[in-house]
Amino acid sequence: MEIIIRPDSQQASLLAAEITARLVREKPHAVIGFATGQSPLQLYRFLIQMRREEELDFSQVTTFNLDEYVGLDPSHPESYHHYMWKNLFGSINIPKDRVNIPDGQASDIPAGCRAYEEQIHAAGGIDIQILGLGTDGHVGFNEPTSSLASRTRIKTLTARTRKDNARFFGGEDKVPHHVITMGLGTIMACRMCLLLAFGKSKAHAVAQAVEGPLTAMVPASILQMHPRAIFLLDEDAASELQRAEYYKWVYDNKPDWQKYG
C-alpha cells in the first residue's frame, strides 16, 4: 500500500489522471475500472482535458464499472450508466461496445453477476481500478461485514449509505435498497488500485483502512494486502493518519524512475 498526500484534491486528482494516462499510452488496449460518486469527478475532468489537448486515445480501451443500482433504468439521472456518459464517456473517444456497467435491470441478477465476472476475465483482467471510499470504509458497495473474498453480486445498502446518497435522489425514501457491485475479491484481482479520498469526512475511514487492522468491518482495509494499492489523499483526508509525515517523506524522496507525476 502506497499513501500519497497532496495539498488538495485537485493535485491528487491530477496525479491520478497522469497515472491513468500513462497506462493508456503504454498499453492502448488497457482495461480500466471506473467508479462513480464525487471523488473521481476531478480525475474525469482531467482525462477529458487530456483527450482534448493531448489527443489521449481511448479507442482501444475496455472499461468496467464498479457498481450500479438495482432497478434503475440506464437513462435515470442517478443511474451510474447516466453518470459515466455524462461525466466521462460522452467526452472521450471510447466506443460504446467497449463500455461495461452492471445491468441493474437484469431479469436474473445472479446470472448477470457471474457473466460480469466472466467478461472481466475474458478481457484479461483490470489494469487499474479507480476507487472511492465511503465514510464507513466501504469500497464499491461492499458494506461493512462484506466477505473479503467476495465477487460481483447483489448487496443491500445500509441505512447509513442510503442516507449519504439521499441528497442525489431528493430524499432517502427514493434511494434504492439494492445494488450490484464488484466484490472485494474482484477488486483485489485488479493489477493496480487507485483510491481517491478527499475531505475531513473521510479522514477516519482513511485512518482505519490504512493504519487499522485488516477487518471486514472496514472493507477498504483489504487493500493493505494488495501489491499495488495507491491511496491519493488531500491534507484533510489524511489528517487522522499517525504516520502522515512519513508517507510524505517517502513520496518526496522516491527515485525519479519510481515517481508518477
Residue 125 lies in a domain: yes
Residue 236 lies in a domain: no
| Active-site position among 136, 164, 234, 235 | 136
- Which residues touch 65 (CB under 8 Å, ≥6 apart)? 33, 34, 35, 36, 80, 84, 100, 101, 102
The pLDDT assigned to 156 comes to 92
Q: Residue 96 is placed in which grid cell?
A: 460504446
Report whether 84 contacts 193 (CB < 8 A): no
The pLDDT assigned to 261 comes to 63
The pLDDT assigned to 198 comes to 98
Active-site annotation holds for 138: yes
Residue 202 lies in a domain: no
Active-site annotation holds for 143: yes
| Active-site position among 67, 68, 127, 234 | 67
Burial group, residue 189, by CB count within 10 angstroms (0-12, 13-18, 19+):
middle
Residue 30 lies in a domain: yes
The pLDDT assigned to 158 comes to 82
Residue 86 belongs to a domain with what CATH number?
Answer: 3.40.50.1360
φ, ψ of residue 70 in degrees (nearest 5): -80, 130
Residue 253 lies in a domain: no
**At 115, which helix (H) or strand (E)?**
helix 109-122
Residue 9 lies in a domain: no
The pLDDT assigned to 140 comes to 95
Residue 106 lies in a domain: yes
Give residue 151's domain range.
19-190+222-228
| Active-site position among 138, 226, 234, 235 | 138
| Active-site position among 68, 143, 164, 234 | 143
DSSP β-bridge partners for residue 63: 32, 99
Tally of structural domains, the chain: 1
What are the angstrom distances between the C-alpha of 39 and each of 139, 181, 194?
Answer: 12, 18, 11
Residue 171 lies in a domain: yes
Which segments of the chain have a pLDDT < 50?
none
